[in-house]
Amino acid sequence: MLPIKWDISFPAPENPEFTFIDLFAGIGGFRIPLQELGGKCVFSSEFNYHAQRAYEYNFGEVPFGDITKLNLDIVPKHDILCAGFPCQPFSISGKMKGFEDTRGTLIYHVFELIEKRQPKVVFLENVKHLVYHDNKRTLSTIVQHLAELGYVVSKKVLNASDFGLPQNRERIIIIGHKETKFDFAKIKKKPKPALKDFLDKENEFEYLDEPYTILDEQKIQDSGLVFAGYRNKTIRKAGVRPGTEHLSRVHKQPNRIYSTEGVHPALPSQESSGRFWIWHEGEVRKLTIQECYRIMGFPNKFKLLNNKAELYKQIGNSVAVPMIKAVGEQIKKQLLKIEK
């Protein structure tokens, strides 16, 4: 049973300072930080059923489903249009078809909505590879469309590790405004943390089976790589860099499990089995679901709904909450001229 209205984790502010809409909303990675900044969400859209349920569970409303079937007239006027539009067509882990892929055309429905409602600010997020896709023509097409709609466009690749999260999750942020160019240099950054500071002290941890456990013999190169062997049918040697925390899927990369002293590559998207392994206190174990959500910057009060496979997949597809908040804070100051 879903919670009653006053039991939701993230109620809308009573006296909002600005309004926004949340397209391709996922589980609410945009909504949480923008509400914290005083914004009120007046419309949301998310196609995935499981993500819809998680969104309702935490925000008390069900997002609209298929954006391709959206009647634009039902969308209220708003200050900021937010869209972490589907990244699979532009990702190096996908087929790289870009706008030839059906999902790639979803961005055009965003353009239609922008043309209809003319928001003050357009706030888009996508994978870093969008910058280079199709010899940079895909990104140029997006920027060109926004310019044709009357927006001054700014763009920059940002890394979640610069915003207090222990993962190297790089994403391109695209900001459009009717008059002003957004200054990314004013965004406040935070020190890079270590993964160990985000781990559960107690939980029912799942440890790697003994045949894969790290051998006693380990060698350290001058470069700082630690070579750790793993028992399997054959002994494998793996490069492990202390201070470069890594999450890995053991079934595909059994020779890449890393320590917990620093920052690691991103939680992989589309991963439903949750094979995110770390070497911690002499043992190899899987990151818990709670740890994965914490590593993406979701507050502890975020309520987890759905089975484990869906939970791991949803967080891998989400946005880094503190990074979105840092950008949103400057949108509020620079473009909306709200100084609170």
Domain residue spans of the chain: 5-188+320-335, 204-287
Residue 167 to residue 241: CA distance in whole angstroms: 14
Residue 339: what pLDDT?
A: 78
Distances (CA, A) of 51 to 63, 85, 306, 330: 9, 14, 9, 28
- What integer pLDDT is reported at residue 254 of this predicted model? 39
Residue with tokens 């790589």: 225
* 245 or 336: which leads in pLDDT: 336
Q: Are 153 and 174 in contact (CB under 8 A)?
A: yes
Query: Higher model confidence: residue 183 or residue 310?
Result: 183
DSSP-derived 3-state class of residue 325: helix
pLDDT given for residue 198 in this prediction: 85
Report yes or no: 336 and 121 within 8 Å, Cβ to Cβ.
Answer: yes
- Give the pair of three-digit tokens for residue 132: 């280079």
Q: Which residues are catalytic?
A: 87
How is domain 5-188+320-335 classified at the CATH fold level?
Rossmann fold (3.40.50)
Nearest to 274 by CA among 300, 248, 236, 253: 248
Check pLDDT > 50 for residue 23: yes
Please, how many CA atoms are within 13 Å of residue 193, restricted to the half-sphere of its CB?
17
Could you give the C-alpha distances from 202 to 189, 196, 291, in angstroms and in order? 30, 13, 11
Question: How many angstroms separate the CA atoms of 98 and 76, rounded?
Answer: 30
pLDDT score for 246:
35
Residue 268 banded pLDDT, cuts 50, 70, 90: low
168 vs 209, residue with greater confidence:
168
pLDDT for 316: 87
pLDDT digit string, tens, across residues 218-253: 443 333 333 344 433 332 334 444 433 333 333 334
Percentage with pLDDT > 90 across the chain: 50
Q: What is the mean pLDDT of residues 40-47?
A: 97
Model confidence pLDDT, tens digit, residues 156-201: 999 999 999 988 899 999 999 999 999 999 999 999 888 888 887 7
